[in-house]
Amino acid sequence: MAELHFFTGTMDCGKSTLALQMDYNHRRRGLSGLMLASHDRGGEATVSSRLGLSAQAVEVDTTTDLWALVVDRLAAGARIEYVIGDEAQFYTPDQVDDLGRIADEVDVPVFAFGILTDFRTRLFPGSARLVELADRIETLQVEALCWCGRRATHNARTVDGVMVTEGEQVVVGDTVDDAAVGYEVLCRHHHRRRMTSRDARVTEPGSQPLPFTAS
């Protein structure tokens, strides 16, 4: 029986790179699959990695019926022997249900890639549903690091360089320093203190921030 497999981790841990590598490996074995994307930094209908790799995909928005997408293509004679869904945290719970149905009823393995929590440390609905339904959940072993050197566990959003903890859950940005809306991975300690790498750089030489907040 095919399985629904969820690969998760923070930003910068290689999720999209692994998704692209998995697609490449399958195609090298003569298999034909379906790549899904959502809100990729590289643009619509694209799965891209910060290493420079990319591939065309089907863009998933909140109205996309994933079950119908797969079944209609199969009925038209297309070969779909695996499904890879990147940025799966942005899928709706119903779409995640469709991924499970594809694995169960069409016997096509599904590999979903996504982060668990948003910049507010709240679970994405799509990721929460994947945790509930996936046959296997794997945390990627490539550890992203906070600017302090600790293992990064939280995703932070910055607006004009300032970390924010309020706003819409889905806003596309990037990890480059000059991005108007940016993202950075932090350890829990520095996420709680809202201290990004930029804040660390502007700290006066020789001074050390207190290891706790005063209020």
Q: Tokens standing for 207?
A: 């001074």
- Could you read off the pLDDT of 117-175 as tens digits, one per residue? 998 899 999 999 999 999 999 998 777 889 999 988 898 998 888 899 888 887 776 65
Query: Distance (Å, rounded) from C-alpha 64 to C-alpha 24?
Result: 25
Structure-token match 């149905």, residue found: 101
| 4-139 carries CATH number 3.40.50.300 | yes
- Could you read off the pLDDT of 60-118 as tens digits, one per residue? 999 999 999 999 999 999 999 999 999 999 999 999 999 999 999 999 999 999 999 99
The reported pLDDT for the residue numbered 207 is 45
Query: Distance (Å, rounded) from C-alpha 193 to C-alpha 127?
Result: 25
- How far is Cα of residue 49 from the mean position of the Cα atoms in its chain? 11
Residues forming the active site: 87
Helices 66-75 and 93-105 meet at what angle, rounded to 10?
40
Q: Which helix (H) or strand (E) holds 154?
A: strand 154-159
Other CB atoms within 10 A of residue 50 CB: 15
The reported pLDDT for the residue numbered 204 is 45
56: nearest Cα among 30, 27, 90: 27
Domain ranges within the chain, ordered by starting residue: 4-139, 143-215
| 143-215 carries CATH number 3.30.60 | yes
The average pLDDT across 13-41 equals: 92
pTM comes to 0.78
